[in-house]
Structures are given as C-alpha cells and as structure tokens.
C-alpha cells in the first residue's frame, strides 16, 4: 500500500508540475501576443518580441528582444530595439477588463533616427500613433510605474550630405499611465511611446550631425 501511495503521490506531483508549466507558457504567450498585436496596430509597423517570461507566483519577469521595425520607405534597420525590460504584472488582471502593470523598467533602449528625403522615421511612427489614438483594444491598461533609462539614439541624415552620430536620452519616469482616462491598451502604449519618440527626435535635432541644417530638419518635422 505504501508503494502504491508513493506512486499516486508521484503521479499527482507530475500532473501539478506539468500544469504549472503549461499555465506559465500560456501566460507568457498571451502577453507576448498582446504586445505584438497592439504595438503593431498602434505604430502601423511590425512589432515583435523574442520572449516573455513571467512568474506565476508573483507576476514578475522580463520582456526580451522587443523590436519596432522601421516604417515603409525607410531602411531595414529597427527603429527601436530593447534587449530586455523587467516587468511586474498583477496576474489576476490579465483575465480582467484592465491589465495592471505594477512596474516596468526599460534599460538601454536603442533608437534609430533616420531622415530620408523630407521624412523622418520616428516622426512617422509618432504620426501613426496620432492616427490610431482611439485604439481598437477592448482591454484597459494601467502602468503604475514606468522607468526608462540610458536610452541611446543613432542618428542618420541625408540632408545636404550623409551624416551619422549618436546621442543619449535623459532617463525619465511616468506614473499612473492610464489611471485617469481608463485607457485602452493602445492608448496607454501611446502615452509611453510618445515621450520616448519625442525625446529621441529632440536629441537628434540638437546633435552635431544636424545643427548646421537644423532649420531644414525642423521644417519637415513640423509638416
């Protein structure tokens, strides 16, 4: 009987472990798919994530390999790339009408500012978000604390002649994104992406690579 009891206990343990693994993979896949779909719909370009890993015990984890493809007429280089971001999610909220992200910390985001003709890729992404301000997601998104630090912008411009340089973005924090307006997922993403893109554009304009042609850059950015 003791032997049978151990076998039954072992079988139950295997089932529980398998269930935890399956549930964990389901959660990770659901978050990954949500980021990719809502990000792509909002920015009107492909948004991909390599991997999402969340703890089923406390909701903490990471988002790895977040990338935003350059819009249409620009180069194949990614407009935004984040190797890893740490995140803490209120797990129960994933199955409710409002997803609650308790903390999101993004370190070393890499942005690529590309001017081509009379357009700029980051300005195009910013305009795409304005066109999608209403959002199509039925779920809400609240981000209680967001920290973005040590951002870098590679700048490439073809005005007058081809120039390249790199600049830094000052770290910044946001609190309560989506709290007051009961934002959809896309609206909250817009509240996060807009200041990041605007800071990158501002630093690109101030950089040495564009200072001699600043009036021309400002002209097409304000169109």
Average pLDDT over residues 136-153: 85
Q: What is the pLDDT of residue 68?
A: 95
- Cβ–Cβ under 8 Å, residues 101 and 111: no
Q: What is the pLDDT of residue 145?
A: 95
- Cβ–Cβ under 8 Å, residues 112 and 77: yes
Q: What is the pLDDT of residue 9?
A: 45
Query: Quick check: 120 pLDDT over 60?
Result: yes
Q: What is the pLDDT of residue 23?
A: 43
- Cβ–Cβ under 8 Å, residues 207 and 160: no
Going by DSSP bridges, is the β-strand pair 47-54/151-157 parallel, antiparallel, or unpaired? unpaired
Q: What is the pLDDT of residue 10?
A: 46
Nearest alpha carbon to residue 100 among 64, 133, 143: 143
Give the pLDDT band (50/70/90) at residue 116.
Answer: confident
Q: What is the pTM of this model?
A: 0.81
Average pLDDT over residues 14-32: 59
Average pLDDT over residues 98-108: 91
- Give, in order, the Cα–Cα distances in Å from 35 to each of 5, 13, 18, 172, 177: 45, 33, 26, 22, 16
Query: Quick check: 29 pLDDT over 50?
Result: yes
How would you label 45-62 residue by residue, b for 16+ Cβ within 10 Å and e otherwise?
Answer: bebebeebbbeeeebebe
Give the pLDDT band (50/70/90) at residue 109.
Answer: very high
Q: Where are the alpha helices (DSSP H) in 136-213?
A: 185-206
Query: Quick check: 122 pLDDT over 50?
Result: yes
Give the pLDDT band (50/70/90) at residue 91.
Answer: confident
Average pLDDT over residues 105-111: 93
Average pLDDT over residues 34-48: 92
Please, what is the Cα angle at 133 between 73 and 44, to 5 degrees? Answer: 25
Length of the chain: 223
Average pLDDT over residues 14-36: 65
What 74-77 contacts at long range (C-beta under 8 Å, 24+ apart), as own/partner pairs, is 74/114, 74/116, 74/119, 74/121, 74/124, 75/114, 75/116, 77/112, 77/114
The strand ranges marked E within the chain are 47-54, 60-68, 80-89, 98-107, 110-116, 119-120, 140-149, 151-157, 163-169, 172-177
Q: What is the pLDDT of residue 218?
A: 57
Q: What is the pLDDT of residue 148?
A: 93
């Amino acid at each position: 009987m003791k032997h049978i009891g151990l076998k039954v206990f072992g079988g139950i343990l295997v089932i529980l472990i398998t269930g935890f693994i399956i549930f964990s993979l389901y959660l990770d896949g659901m978050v990954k798919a949500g980021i990719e779909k809502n990000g792509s719909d909002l920015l009107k370009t492909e948004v991909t994530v390599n991997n999402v890993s969340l703890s089923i015990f406390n909701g903490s984890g990471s988002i790895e390999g977040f990338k935003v493809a350059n819009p249409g007429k620009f180069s194949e280089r990614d407009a935004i790339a984040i190797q890893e971001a740490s995140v803490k999610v209120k797990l129960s909220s994933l199955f409710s009408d409002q997803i609650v992200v308790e903390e999101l910390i993004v370190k070393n985001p890499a942005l690529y500012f590309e001017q081509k003709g009379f357009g700029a890729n980051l300005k195009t992404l910013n305009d795409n978000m304005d066109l999608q301000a209403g959002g199509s997601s039925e779920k809400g998104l609240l981000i209680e604390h967001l920290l973005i630090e040590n951002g870098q912008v590679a700048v490439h411009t073809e005005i007058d002649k081809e120039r390249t340089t790199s600049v830094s973005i000052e770290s910044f924090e946001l609190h309560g994104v989506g709290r007051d307006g009961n934002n959809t997922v896309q609206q909250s993403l817009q509240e996060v992406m807009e200041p990041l893109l605007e800071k990158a554009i501002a630093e690109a304009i101030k950089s040495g690579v564009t200072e001699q042609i600043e009036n021309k850059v400002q002209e097409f950015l304000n169109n």
